[in-house]
Amino acid sequence: MTAAALELRELVVSFGGLRAVDGVSLSIEPGEIVGFIGPNGSGKTTLLDAISGQVSPSAGQVLLDGEDLIDHRPEDRAELGLVRSFQDARLFPDLTVEDTLLVAEDARRPTRLLATTFALPTERRAEAEKRANVDALIADLGLTRYQHRSICELSTGTRRIVDLASIVAARPRLLLLDEPTAGVAQREAEAFGPLLRTLHELTGATIVIVEHDVPLVVGLAQRLVVMEAGRVVSAGPVADVVKDSAAIEAYLGASQEALARSGARSV
């Protein structure tokens, strides 16, 4: 799998008379990590919804490797390697961590009923490969101690890690992360920077991350995009954006103390 390029051209999403996304144009290179920040209601999550096909834009284009996705359903986009996470980890509470990841592997490589019933050699090999992939993923993301525990027994932060592991199993080329630390305790949230770097290394995917934890995004992303009222007010390398007066006025002003504590000014 190769990382995908994403381009947005004059993208507009309207709800009645409200323009939640108002003429956004951006290009994201394969393998980049780009962070989107901004106040509540600035259009960040709606932008992810438009890219992933959850909402239909009023105008503009979404291009994946030059292919316009406007007429593609969410499942069509998923087949092209576009994978979206949501703020709430959507997992089956009664499944174990291991079974959850096996389900994700099965979704990517479905087994044939008759071949599985008769335990044909090809299916036995495929099942062994899936289990090996799951074991490796559990180890890589530090989930070994939770492997046989049910999802409902886990903390919010650990459930979020399992959700991210399921995303890795989907082999994304473009990964859209919506508030991965939402609802996660501060102690657990601090581990998400290294965790997301590991996720990037495992997948090699292009990553677009929407996050309110500014120090986390600043420490992770190569480029930052600041949105306000549906528009991009600042975009560019992290070191430039955190000094941009437009970005500071729109959002970063309230976070300067946190940025200073994190060492982000020197990025």
Residues 81-136 have pLDDT tens digits of: 999 887 666 788 899 999 988 888 887 655 554 455 545 667 678 788 888 888 98
Per-residue pLDDT tens for 144-172? 999 999 999 998 888 888 988 888 888 89
CATH code for the structural domain at 1-81+172-267: 3.40.50.300
Domain residues of the chain, as ranges?
Answer: 1-81+172-267, 91-170
Pair 265, 218: CB distance under 8 Å: no
* Position 261 confidence tier, pLDDT thresholds 50, 70, 90: very low
HSE, side-chain direction, 13 A CA sphere, residue 54: 13
Alpha carbons 194 and 73: distance in angstroms, whole number: 33
Torsion of CA 49, 53, 59, 63, to 10 degrees: 100
pTM score > 0.75 for this model? yes
As a whole number, mean pLDDT of residues 249-256 equals 66
For 215-251, the pLDDT digits (tens) are: 899 999 999 999 999 999 999 999 999 888 888 887 7
Mean model confidence pLDDT for the chain: 85
Is residue 263 predicted with pLDDT exceeding 70? no
Q: What is the mean pLDDT of residues 248-258?
A: 65
